[in-house]
Amino acid sequence: MPRAAIAALVILAGVPLAARGAGANAFTVGTATATEGHAATGTIDVPAGVDPALHIPVALFHGAWPGPVMALVSGAHGTEYASIIALEKVIAQIDPTELSGTLIVVPLVNIPSFEQKVPHVNPVDGKSMNRFYPGRADGTQTDRAAYAITREVVERCDYLIDLHGGDLDESLRPYSYWARTGNEKQDAVSRGMVLAFGLDHIIIASDRPRDANASRYLETTAATRGKPSITVEAGSAGTVETEDVDALANGCFSVLRYLKMLPGSAVPVEHPVWIERVVTLSSDHTGIFYPRVRRGTYVETGMKLGYVTDYLGKTVLEARSPAEGVVLFIAALPSMKKGETIANIGVVAARAP
């Protein structure tokens, strides 16, 4: 953390609550309140309901200069570690005295998943924490957390980036998602954001909900509320490689420069590979998976991606690519259950959108 940010935290701790909450020069998210040019930390509190309460940590940077509000969120899947560590890095490096506008950073939404090392879901209720937006105040913990994040983060921001990465069982090559909303102005800004972020493979997501009350994903919750937003992924099978962490952290800084929230100019990715559709190959057998290609490999339709055997070595499934394209991710572990994803193949778009 820069010295100024530490100083800001120290100063804030001594400011009385009444002085913090009042005035147009303070910004509050959850229990964190920051005055202009300062940082603060706190929690977004999800009250107990049918299951326990959850306290989601939030870092808030209220810039010294006027500007928009950006939200960076990771750890909906608490074992997608590279994305979580990337936002820890962003928290350590943002200096609110050089920031125009306000930055909300939520590095770890799914604390139970992180602590218990459970992939994909919140172990408290078995739900993915990126599928139940905009959430419900009277649901299980995942629903209530989504409800709190919608109110405290999405409704407070102007732009949003949701960060993910290959989960424990996913060998993933980095990519981002750009979803068109049909609002040309909004789509032009989110397109600029995804190019500024810098990942060189971009999925054109065309299957996102259009109903703000059934938005399902965090990014879509922001998008359906008129806020340009993107989802980005880097990291593979639980690893925390410098290359992945830096790609995600630097991508955030670059988007902040693109939006004029930080000084300097963004360097957008030139000629990215646009993916027009993602084809999933799932296993119709339970057994042991042996991959035969690496993440990022370009494959032809019918090419062998790997195979599944029973527990005594008899091949029960030849995994062949259902499409021509790039292996966005392939199963990273030998454990393969019927119905689980073997690989996602990205079909390259004929032209840039």
Give the interface segment with Zn ion, choosing from 36-44, 163-171, 189-197, 212-220 (CB under 5 A).
163-171
Find out whether 306 and 327 touch, Cβ atoms under 8 Å: no
Give the interface segment with Zn ion, choosing from 63-71, 89-97, 105-113, 162-170 (CB under 5 A).
162-170
Cα dihedral sign, 291-295-298-300: positive
Number of residues that bind Zn ion (CB under 5 A): 3
Q: What are phi and psi of 97, to 5 degrees?
A: -75, -15
Q: Which residue's CB atom is positioned nearest to Zn ion? A: 164
The answer for residues whose C-beta is within 8 angstroms of residue 8's C-beta and 6 or more apart is 34, 37, 38, 39, 40, 96
The only residue of 127, 164, 227, 295 in contact with Zn ion, by rule CB under 5 A: 164
Instruction: Give the DSSP H or E segment for 131.
Output: none
Residues 49-88 within binding reach of Zn ion (CB under 5 A): 77, 80
CB-nearer residue toward Zn ion: 138 or 207: 207
Q: If you compute the radius of gyration of the chain from its CA atoms, what whole number of angstroms results?
A: 21
- Residue (of 97, 77, 81, 79) closest to 89 by Cα position: 81
The burial of 312, by beta-carbon neighbours within 10 Å (0-12 exposed, 13-18 middle, 19 or more buried), is given as exposed
DSSP letters spanning 66-86: EEEEEEEEE-SSTT-HHHHHH
CB-nearer residue toward Zn ion: 95 or 167: 167
Work out how close the CB of 166 gets to Zn ion at its nearest, in angstroms, rounded to a whole number: 9
Work out how close the CB of 179 gets to Zn ion at its nearest, in angstroms, rounded to a whole number: 16
Give the interface segment with Zn ion, choosing from 35-43, 164-172, 224-232, 287-295 (CB under 5 A).
164-172
Work out how close the CB of 76 gets to Zn ion at its nearest, in angstroms, rounded to a whole number: 6
CB-nearer residue toward Zn ion: 235 or 272: 235
CB-nearer residue toward Zn ion: 35 or 231: 231
CB-nearer residue toward Zn ion: 42 or 235: 235
Residue 173 binds Zn ion (CB under 5 A): no
CB-nearer residue toward Zn ion: 35 or 74: 74
Find out whether 295 and 326 touch, Cβ atoms under 8 Å: no
Cα–Cα distance measured from residue 139 to residue 321, given in angstroms and rounded to the nearest whole number:
39
Instruction: Give the DSSP H or E segment for 40.
Output: strand 38-46
Q: Which two tokens stand for residue 70?
A: 């950006």
CB-nearer residue toward Zn ion: 20 or 120: 120
| Helices assigned H by DSSP within 62-175 | 81-93, 111-116, 141-149
Work out how close the CB of 162 gets to Zn ion at its nearest, in angstroms, rounded to a whole number: 8
Cα–Cα distance measured from residue 118 to residue 220, given in angstroms and rounded to the nearest whole number:
25
Give the interface segment with Zn ion, choosing from 4-12, 33-41, 158-166, 302-310 (CB under 5 A).
158-166
CB-nearer residue toward Zn ion: 34 or 121: 121
Q: Which residues bind Zn ion (CB under 5 A)?
A: 77, 80, 164
